[in-house]
C-alpha cells in the first residue's frame, strides 16, 4: 500500500494583521482537522494533515479579528462530518458548515445535517484528490439538496473550468467555486480558464466564487500580491456573490505556507472600499449561510 503523505503544518506564529475586519466578518473557507484520536481520518484519504483542532482555530480567529466561519469538511475526514458538526454546535450560531456526503445518505440524515448547521455539500474535481467524481452520483445529490435550500461547493483545477463549463450552466442550485478556480497567476488575466470563470460569474446568478487561495495560485510567493488583480476582476463582475476565506490550515500546500495575517492584509488591497469589505466579509456570507450569532 502506498504511504499516505503528510501535509505541511500551518504557520504556528500567526501575525496580527494591520487590517482590522468589520464586526461579524466571516472566514468563509476554513477547516478543522482532528484531533485524529477523537475524529479519525478516513483510511482511503489522499493526505494526512497535522491536527488543527477547534481550540487552535478559535485562537486564530481572535488574532485575525474574525467572528464567523464556514467550516468546510475536508476530504481527509471522508463522509464523517462530526468534526465540523461539533464545532458548529459550540459556536453559538457563529459557524456554519459544508459537508461531504455520498449517495448512501438518507433524507432524514440530510435533515439532521441541516439542523446541525450544514448549508452545502462539496465535491473535489482536482486531480491530486482523486479527480472527477461519479457524475451520476454528483447530479443525484445536487438534486436531493435542492429542497433544503443548500448549495454545492466545487473544488476545481483551472483546466476543469474548460471541461465542465456546460455542467455549471445546468446546475439547479447555487454553486460556489473555491479558490478563484485555482487559475495560475503566471498565465495572466487573459488566460482562457479565468475568462470562463468571469463569464460564468457574470452570466449565471447562481454562481458564487471565493477569493481565497492566493497562496495556491501565486507565482511570486509571499505576501501573494500578484493574486490581487484576479480578486479585483471577480469583485468587479459580481460583488454580491463573492466570499473571502483563509483556507486555514492550508492542506496540500507544496511550496509557500502562508501566514494568515498576511492573507487578511490582502483584503484592503483587493477591495479598498470599506462598504465593499463589509459586503464581502459580512453581508454576502450571511445571505448564503444565515448565521444566528
* pLDDT reported for residue 127: 73
Least confident stretch, 1-10, 35-44, 192-201: 1-10
For residue 2, is pLDDT > 90? no
For residue 131, is pLDDT > 80? no
- Is 2 within the bounds of a domain? no
Give the chain's largest Cα–Cα span: 53
* pLDDT reported for residue 146: 98
Neighbours of 128 (CB within 10 A): 11
Cβ within 8 Å of residue 245, ≥6 positions away: 27, 28, 29, 30, 70, 210, 212
pTM: 0.96
- Is 9 within the bounds of a domain? no
Q: Domain total for the chain? A: 1
Q: What is the mean pLDDT of the chain?
A: 96
For residue 1, is pLDDT > 80? no
pLDDT in tens, 158-186: 999 999 999 999 999 999 999 999 999 99
- CA dist 148 and 150 (Å) reads 5
pLDDT mean over 62-70:
98
Q: Are 156 and 181 in contact (CB under 8 A)?
A: yes
- CA dist 235 and 218 (Å) reads 18
Beta strands in the chain (DSSP E): 26-30, 68-72, 95-99, 118-124, 151-155, 175-177, 207-210, 242-243
- Is 261 within the bounds of a domain? yes
Specify the CATH number for the domain of residue 36.
3.20.20.140
- Residue 195 banded pLDDT, cuts 50, 70, 90: very high
- Is 152 within the bounds of a domain? yes
Active-site residue (options: 247, 262, 265, 273): 247
* pLDDT reported for residue 193: 98
* pLDDT reported for residue 116: 98
- Is 1 within the bounds of a domain? no
- CA dist 258 and 235 (Å) reads 23
pLDDT in tens, 14-24: 999 999 999 99
pLDDT in tens, 272-290: 999 999 999 999 999 999 9
Residues of the chain with pLDDT > 70, as a percent, come to 99
pLDDT in tens, 241-269: 999 999 999 999 989 999 999 999 999 99
Indicate if 247 belongs to the active site: yes
- Is 138 within the bounds of a domain? yes
- Is 121 within the bounds of a domain? yes
pLDDT mean over 208-212:
98
Neighbours of 46 (CB within 10 A): 16
- Is 262 within the bounds of a domain? yes
* Domain span holding position 105: 26-289
Amino acid at each position: 500500500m502506498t504511504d499516505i503523505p503528510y501535509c505541511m503544518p500551518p504557520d504556528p506564529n500567526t501575525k496580527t494583521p494591520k487590517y482590522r475586519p468589520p464586526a461579524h466578518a466571516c472566514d468563509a473557507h476554513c477547516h478543522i482537522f482532528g484531533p485524529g484520536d477523537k475524529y479519525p481520518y478516513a483510511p482511503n484519504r489522499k493526505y494526512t494533515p497535522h491536527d488543527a483542532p477547534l481550540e487552535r482555530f478559535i485562537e486564530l480567529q481572535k488574532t485575525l479579528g474574525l467572528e464567523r466561519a464556514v467550516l468546510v469538511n475536508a476530504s481527509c475526514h471522508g463522509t464523517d462530518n462530526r468534526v465540523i458538526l461539533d464545532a458548529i454546535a459550540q459556536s453559538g450560531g457563529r459557524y456554519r458548515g459544508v459537508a461531504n456526503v455520498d449517495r448512501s445518505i438518507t433524507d432524514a440524515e440530510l435533515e439532521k445535517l441541516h439542523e446541525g448547521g450544514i448549508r452545502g455539500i462539496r465535491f473535489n474535481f482536482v486531480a491530486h484528490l482523486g479527480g472527477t467524481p461519479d457524475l451520476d452520483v454528483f447530479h443525484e445529490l445536487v438534486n436531493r439538496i435542492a429542497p433544503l435550500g443548500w448549495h454545492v461547493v466545487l473544488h476545481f483545477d483551472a483546466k476543469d473550468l474548460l471541461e465542465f463549463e456546460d455542467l455549471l450552466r445546468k446546475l439547479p442550485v447555487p454553486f460556489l467555486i473555491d479558490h478563484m478556480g485555482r487559475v495560475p497567476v503566471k498565465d495572466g488575466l487573459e488566460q482562457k480558464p479565468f475568462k470562463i470563470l468571469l463569464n460564468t460569474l457574470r452570466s449565471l446568478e447562481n454562481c458564487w466564487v471565493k477569493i481565497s487561495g492566493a497562496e495556491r495560485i501565486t507565482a511570486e510567493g509571499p505576501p501573494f500580491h500578484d493574486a490581487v488583480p484576479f480578486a479585483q476582476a471577480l469583485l468587479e463582475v459580481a460583488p454580491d456573490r463573492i466570499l473571502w476565506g483563509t483556507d486555514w490550515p492550508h492542506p496540500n500546500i507544496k511550496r509557500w505556507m502562508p501566514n494568515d495575517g498576511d492573507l487578511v492584509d490582502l483584503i484592503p488591497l483587493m477591495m479598498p472600499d470599506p462598504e465593499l469589505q463589509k459586503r464581502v466579509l459580512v453581508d454576502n456570507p450571511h445571505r448564503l449561510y444565515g448565521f444566528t450569532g
